[in-house]
Amino acid sequence: METNHTSPRYGMVIDVDRCTGCGNCMVACAVENNVPPADPKATERTGTTWMRVSKLENGLPFPENRSVYLPVSCQQCDHHTPCVSVCPQNAVEYDTESGIVAQIPVRCFGCRYCVTACPYHARYYNWWDPVWPEGMEKTLNPDVSTRMRGVVEKCNFCHGRLQAARAKAAAEGRRTIADAEYVPACGESCPTHAIHFGNLSDPNSDVSMLSKDKRAFRLLEELGTEPKVYFLSEQDWVHAIVKNKISTELKGHGNG
């Protein structure tokens, strides 16, 4: 079913109670967006991964111990987007036709202001030129450009897939695209269907309804950046640890 909205705001809802931490989303993201294997010298701070899955635990002894997995990528801030406001090169843009915070590597000169400004540490500076094992370069996605050393990159909701969906709709004489025509690789690959994606501006879309669910929360909501990535959990301790521990950690250390 097509949406009736000419200017969608694409967003994501991730059910952490469903997530098993399998890592499929990270692999699918890297394959789709030509993120190269890590350099042998890469560390936790200098590696590149557009989607990072962290494990959260309630800290209680067996049999009360519980754990969940929290996939975190660019949170697609919708208000006073920090990375957009600090970039001196206009290498970061808020697309008003999709709500997506886009990264334009060819404009980036590597100052890393955006890396410092991002409260979610979801931006990555390329310390090395991309290198793939011999033969693996044949598997690269031709619809996504690789990025060179010295620029910043991040999740863009698989923008290449959005462009392909728009092109298909235009070829068929349509002005809008159907929800099922545009799904990022992480959501498509999730075996437990923990990742939901769609148009937040459409009140009838799954993501719109789930974002208003009583189980929903966002990271660092107190900053007022209005991220378009929501998380779901029925477990009170998850909400508490995200609000307290995760917020403290995200504010406390950077990745640049």
Looking at residue 193, which CATH number applies to its domain? Answer: 3.30.70.20
In a domain, 4, yes or no: no
- Classify 29 as helix, strand or coil: helix
pLDDT at 248: 57
In a domain, 227, yes or no: yes
Domain count for the chain: 1
In a domain, 61, yes or no: yes
pLDDT at 58: 92
Count of C-beta atoms within a 10 Å radius of residue 105: 16
Q: Do the beta carbons of residue 30 and residue 138 sit within 8 Å?
A: no
Domain interval for residue 218? 10-252
pLDDT at 245: 65
In a domain, 3, yes or no: no
In a domain, 103, yes or no: yes
Q: Within the chain, which residues score under 50 in pLDDT?
A: 1-5, 252-254
Span 40-75, pLDDT tens digits: 999 989 999 999 999 999 999 999 999 999 999 999
In a domain, 74, yes or no: yes
pLDDT at 3: 40
In a domain, 5, yes or no: no
pLDDT at 207: 97
b/e code 169-205 from CB counts within 10 Å (16+ = b): beeeeeeebebebbbbbbbebbeeebbbbbbbbbeeb
pLDDT at 244: 81
In a domain, 1, yes or no: no
Full 3-state SS string of 189-233: HCCCCCEEEEECCCCCCHHHHHHCCCCEECCCHHHCCCECEEEEC
